[in-house]
Structure 1
Amino acid sequence: MNIAQRIPQPLETRKLGNGRRKVLALHCTLAHSGAWKGLAGEMDSEIEITATDMFNHGLSPDWDGQGDFQDRMARAAVATLTEPVDVIGHSFGASIAMRVAVLFPELVRSLTMIESVYFAIAGEDKPDLVKQSMNSSAPFYDAMKAGQFELGARLFNGGWGGGVGESWEDMPEHRRAAMIRGVRIVPACSPALLDDIHKLLEPGRLQSLNLPVLLMRGGNTAAVIAAVNDGFAARLPDARNVVVEGAGHMLPISHPAETADHLRQLFAEVPV
């Protein structure tokens, strides 16, 4: 399949690792493709990662505002694929990974969702947790509505960064600028994450996803993330739901060795 000609905005990508097994990796919001360097180092001889830069992140262009952001990301992410791969996503990247698996099942050998923020599924099972999460995020959304993007980036990074890396005050100016650029797309993620506009939660839709799925979260993560993973585990026909103790939301960055161990167990059962 070659859909590159139909992609209005191509994504920048980088290759990481020297292994035989091909992997597509989708980073979290406010990060970039380099977020997978730790995992690639742990699995250098085992996998070759194609790591994308999301729109408004890294070296990819700013999103043009057309269509649904999650859908545009999913289609752009697979534009250069020519063979089946293992797809891994973190946080919002995990929701893109799921959309890739639904849209292009012939290109996905296995799906790994790490700390998925697909809150719509938790909204069905434990709506109070979603309400609590949205209430705690109100200052962030207020800042975004007011066009205070620096404040929005600081609040978002503080809420989801899990204490990984420097504080906002100690962060180099270029890194703060990158986060301010990236945070602008967050409101555009809400229709897919909160409202399930692509109808992935319709009865039978997830149950028909016929591929191995690995769900990962940190033991110290928010309760709503646990509800998301539990919701997927209850609906997907072939899913394993694992917790990495001592880790938070930034699990694949803070705990690459543990992430690699769980991926090895999955890949051992999924032939190339």
Structure 2
Amino acid sequence: MPRDIRQGAETNWQVIGEGERPALAIHCMLGAGEMWAPVLAPLGAQISTTTFDLPGHGKSAPWTPETVEPGAYQRLATQIAASFIERPVDLIGHSFGAIVALRIAVAAPEAVRSLTLVEPVLFAAARNTAEWNTLRPHQDHLEALMAAGEHEEAARRFVRDWGVGLPWEALPAHQRAQFIAQMAIIAEVAPGNFDDPGNICREGGLEQIDAPVLLVHGDRSPPITARVCESIAARLPDVGTACVPGAGHMLPLTHAQQLSELIALNLDRS
């Protein structure tokens, strides 16, 4: 796997597939680029997909914030992702990665050939809905735990709500330790899901994306994800939506075949 400096951050990346069309896939918080392999390998004859490990994830270097500016991590992740784009790409993102993908598409719609957003956590798109109001106290509690240094309990709750459905105790000890260490990143990133530091939801922003967009969520995910997909879809000129039965937030891991087939449909539209 190649490893080089991107936007000042030592970044690990790989390419899946040998297709003529370039693609870029961005993973979720607490994930890694390699999680995309089961989803993207079946599409390898059509697209060559770059997947990279976000700062502080996978085999990329640890991340230490250099500034207290809100949204610093999201901005860095977006800059790293953009550094891999040389011509219009099929852009794919999951969870936080979907926010990064959407931020690129809003800033540079000409760089995107197609856009697939899986379980985007851009909660700002559903501000003041019933689902937002239900989620907000849980977020406040999570932020309070992290501010108090109770990172293990914060990790336990985060994985419970946004993981693959396994109990915390069922995870390997090394993975639990990794998740606990990564709570510092979650503490920086999570508020931005609500506050939209990249101003993605600005008036006229989403509307200028003219590439085919597919929004995917699971029917067992937190209700806010379906509301976010609905809110984003309502503002896009060329959009499709899909709900994967039996899937939760981590559907790229649990429902790789279904997601691969959905991405293939969106590729055919561009």
- TM exceeds 0.5? yes
User: Are 1:39 and 1:257, in contact at CA under 8 Å, matched by a contact in 2?
Assistant: yes
Quick one: structure 1 residues 82 and 136, their matched pair in 2 at CA, closer, same or farther if it must change by over 3 Å? same
Q: Which residue of 2 aligns with 1:236?
A: 236
Structure-2 separation of matches of 1:5 and 1:54? 12
Question: What residue identity is the alignment partner of 2:186?
Answer: V
Q: Which residue of 2 aligns with 1:154?
A: 156
Residue 106 of structure 2 corresponds to residue 102 of structure 1: yes
Question: What residue identity is the alignment partner of 2:232?
Answer: F
Bigger drift between 170-179 and 216-225 goes to: 170-179
Question: What residue identity is the alignment partner of 1:234?
Answer: A
CA shift, 1:176, in A, is 1.9
SS at structure 2 position matched to 1:192:
helix
Bigger drift between 101-110 and 215-224 goes to: 101-110
User: Are 1:219 and 1:248, in contact at CA under 8 Å, matched by a contact in 2?
Assistant: yes
Quick one: structure 1 residues 261 and 157, their matched pair in 2 at CA, closer, same or farther if it must change by over 3 Å? same
SS at structure 1 position matched to 2:182:
helix
Structure 1: stretches of 5+ with no match in the other structure: none
Structure-1 separation of matches of 2:242 and 2:34? 24
Q: Which residue of 2 aligns with 1:210?
A: 210
TM-score (norm 1): 0.89
Q: Which residue of 1 aligns with 2:133?
A: 131
User: Are 1:216 and 1:241, in contact at CA under 8 Å, matched by a contact in 2?
Assistant: yes
Structure-1 separation of matches of 2:192 and 2:121? 10
Moved beyond 6 Å, runs of 4+: none
Question: What residue identity is the alignment partner of 1:142?
Answer: A
Structure-1 separation of matches of 2:121 and 2:150? 23
CA shift, 1:5, in A, is 8.6
CA shift, 1:184, in A, is 1.6
Count residues with an aligned counterpart.
263
User: Are 2:106 and 2:208, in contact at CA under 8 Å, matched by a contact in 1?
Assistant: no
Quick one: structure 1 residues 157 and 205, their matched pair in 2 at CA, closer, same or farther if it must change by over 3 Å? same
User: Are 1:56 and 1:181, in contact at CA under 8 Å, matched by a contact in 2?
Assistant: no
Q: Which residue of 1 aligns with 2:198?
A: 198
Bigger drift between 193-202 and 227-236 goes to: 193-202
Q: Which residue of 2 aligns with 1:269?
A: 269
CA shift, 1:132, in A, is 0.9
Q: Which residue of 2 aligns with 1:227?
A: 227
What aligned pairs does 1:166-177 form with structure 2 within 5 A after superposition? 166-177=166-177
Structure-1 separation of matches of 2:198 and 2:255? 32
CA shift, 1:169, in A, is 1.8
RMSD value, Cα: 2.0
Question: What residue identity is the alignment partner of 1:112?
Answer: T
Structure-1 separation of matches of 2:49 and 2:6? 24
What aligned pairs does 1:36-47 form with structure 2 within 5 A after superposition? 36-47=36-47
Cα deviation code 1:184-231 (max 9, x no counterpart): 211222443211233222221211122211100012222111110000
CA shift, 1:113, in A, is 0.7
CA shift, 1:149, in A, is 1.8
Structure-1 separation of matches of 2:39 and 2:256? 5
Structure-2 separation of matches of 1:197 and 1:169? 35
Q: Which residue of 2 aligns with 1:73?
A: 77
SS at structure 2 position matched to 1:89:
strand
Structure 2: stretches of 5+ with no match in the other structure: none
Quick one: structure 1 residues 252 and 6, their matched pair in 2 at CA, closer, same or farther if it must change by over 3 Å? closer
